[in-house]
Amino acid sequence: MEKSPGAAPTSSPEEEVAADGRGHVEDATGQKEQATPVVLKKGPWTAAEDAMLMDHVRHHGEGNWNAVQRVTGLLRCGKSCRLRWTNHLRPNLKKGSFSPDEELLIAQLHAQLGNKWARMAAHLPGRTDNEIKNYWNTRTKRRQRAGLPVHPPPEVQLQLALARRCRYDDFSPLPSPQELSGVQALVGAAASAGYASSRPAPLDLARQLTQTTNQQTETVQFLSPPPFSAPSSPWARPFARNAQYFQLAHSSSPVSPTTPDLSLGYGARSAGADQSRLPPLSPSPCPRVVELPSNQYAQPTPPASAAATALGGGGAALPDHQNAASLEKMLRELHDVIKVDPPALVPASGGAALEWHGGGEFVSGLQALQQHRVDDMDTLFGLLHPPLRRAPETVAAAAAGSTHSGSTSQHSSDDQKPTDVVGLGLDLDLQVAGSTVSSDQEDWGLDAVCQWSSVSRIC
């Protein structure tokens, strides 16, 4: 796909324009407006031109680009020479696709800086502003076409915040529920449109995951999107294309051995880039968090994901709704946006009510969680911003109501579940009917019929 810098010339004489660097160009008839114009070439550079430019820089150094034409006779304006050198010829340029780390960093930088490509490039050694700009624009376009927000989805923002906490002890604020309102908007739209049924998961995530990840303990991405997320959203499509980034990341990952856990469900394209020089802004592995059992995905859903799980985890038929198609699309996008994990854990006898009161605490419902998750959730909450920690009474309630004493390592995958609720700022009262949860984590919820009976409260 990538064109070589020295691609064969495609410019024809018609592509050449007369210019002396001060805007003297041919008129429509080809007549020169000046008597002695220098005809400067446009279009792709040839290998010979590259060689001339490189030779010039070698002998005269960078800068004074307008002199290149005078000194070497190269029929390119200074601007063009500078661009060519900067973007293609200068040493230490990193060619190839962006690594997941770089993509993460770009997303973060763009959220902070906006379209300041040059400043962003300063954080990405070997990358050019043009490269970053192109990268971002293609994704922006894609997302806009899909009617999705341009910036990373909420869980990515949360992920970034968590990564900072893990790696740099950075306790800057987590995304607020307000900042995460995009997800709620989708959920609310679904609710207000009367969507009260479940749909089949875009893909049978849990089953696939159960089959593919139960054998061994892997390093998994903390709060990562599900590995087989339906590629209906632009955030998820690249993920689907590069599933190796987003699934279980072995230490021997061919992609990014040093940064296996923070790849995102958006935009990853290729591997092999040097990961060793990440600037401080780049999130990176968080060993004390990411070493999770491989059955993480097969375990009960985070309360947070419960919202989306209710949409995607059930096996019932599509709703008989006149807008079912559009809703289906919307909900699928929602599913992608929040990167739903397998269906929610619920007590065998009924529904689990989980409430998140925007910036407050979990105040109810956690007793439905089982004992063996408590310690891990505590660990998780310890990573979060203090206001997001669980209320002590909730912890106690969860402990009291538990009947399991499974090992932490076995069930730490649940860490992320409550966090999802917190991070996504969802105020849910999710009821999952018709499902039972066995102690066997593989059984839960796949065939449940989920209902959004109280979803309107979100709005």
Partner DNA sequence: AAACAGACCAACCGCAACTAT
Partner DNA sequence: GATAGTTGCGGTTGGTCTGTT
Give the interface with DNA as residue ranges (CB under 7 A): 1-3, 5, 7, 10, 17, 21-23, 41-45, 63-67, 76, 78-80, 82-84, 87-88, 97, 115-119, 129-131, 133-135, 137-139, 141-142, 145, 234, 238, 269
Of 273 and 289, nearer to DNA (C-beta) is 273
SS3 letters across 2-46: CCCCCCCCCCCHHHCEECCCCCCCCCCCCCCCCCCCCEECCCCCC
In contact, 399 and 374? CB cutoff 8 Å: yes
Min separation Cβ 53 and DNA, Å:
11
Alpha helices in 313-391 (DSSP H): 324-338, 374-383
Question: Smallest distance, Å, CB 261 to DNA?
Answer: 23
Q: Which residues of 25-34 are buried (b: 16+ CB within 10 A; e: fewer)?
A: eeeeeeeeee
Our CB check for DNA shows the closer of 71 and 459 to be 71
| 202 or 315: CB nearest DNA | 202
What is the nearest approach in angstroms of DNA to the Cβ of residue 18?
11
Which backbone phi and psi does 291 adopt, to 5 degrees? -80, 90
- The residue (of 68 and 352) whose beta carbon lies closer to DNA is 68
Q: Minimum distance from CB of 13 to DNA (Å)? A: 14
Q: What angle do CA 157, 158, 163 make, to 5 degrees?
A: 100
CB 104, min distance to DNA, A: 16
Per DSSP, helices labelled H in 115-215 are: 117-122, 129-145, 154-168, 181-192, 205-213
Least distance between DNA and beta carbon 45 (Å): 4
Nearer of residues 107 and 428 to DNA, judged by Cβ: 107
Looking at the Cβ atoms of 47 and 459, the one nearer to DNA is: 47
Task: Give the residue with the Cβ less far from DNA, 122 or 317.
Answer: 122
Nearer to DNA, 68 or 206 (CB): 68
Cα distance between residue 315 and residue 310, in whole Å: 10
Q: Please state the closest distance from residue 66 (CB atom) to DNA, in A.
A: 4
Q: What is the CA radius of gyration of the chain?
A: 27
Which neighbouring-strand residues pair with 39? 18
Give the nearest distance from C-beta 297 to DNA in angstroms: 25
Report the residue number, 268 or 278, with the smaller CB distance to DNA: 268
Distance CA 108, CA 111 (A): 5
CB distance 73 to 115 below 8 Å: no
Cα 320 off chain centre by: 33
Least distance CB 455 / DNA (angstroms) = 30
Question: Is there a contact between 311 and 190 (Cβ–Cβ < 8 Å)?
Answer: yes
Q: In whole angstroms, how close is the CB of 270 to DNA at the nearest point?
A: 8
Q: Which is nearer to DNA, 121 or 307 (CB)?
A: 121
The answer to whether 168 and 280 are in contact (CB under 8 A) is yes
Closer CB to DNA, residue 80 or residue 224? 80
Instruction: Give least dist CB 24 to DNA, A.
Output: 11
Tokens linked to 57: 């820089």
Q: How many CB atoms lie within 10 A of CB 443?
A: 15
Could you say which DSSP state residue 76 is in? S
Long-range contacts of 345-349 (CB under 8 A, 24+ apart): 345/299, 345/300, 345/301, 345/369, 345/370, 345/414, 345/417, 345/437, 345/444, 345/445, 346/300, 346/432, 346/435, 346/437, 346/444, 346/445, 346/448, 347/437, 348/436, 348/437, 348/438
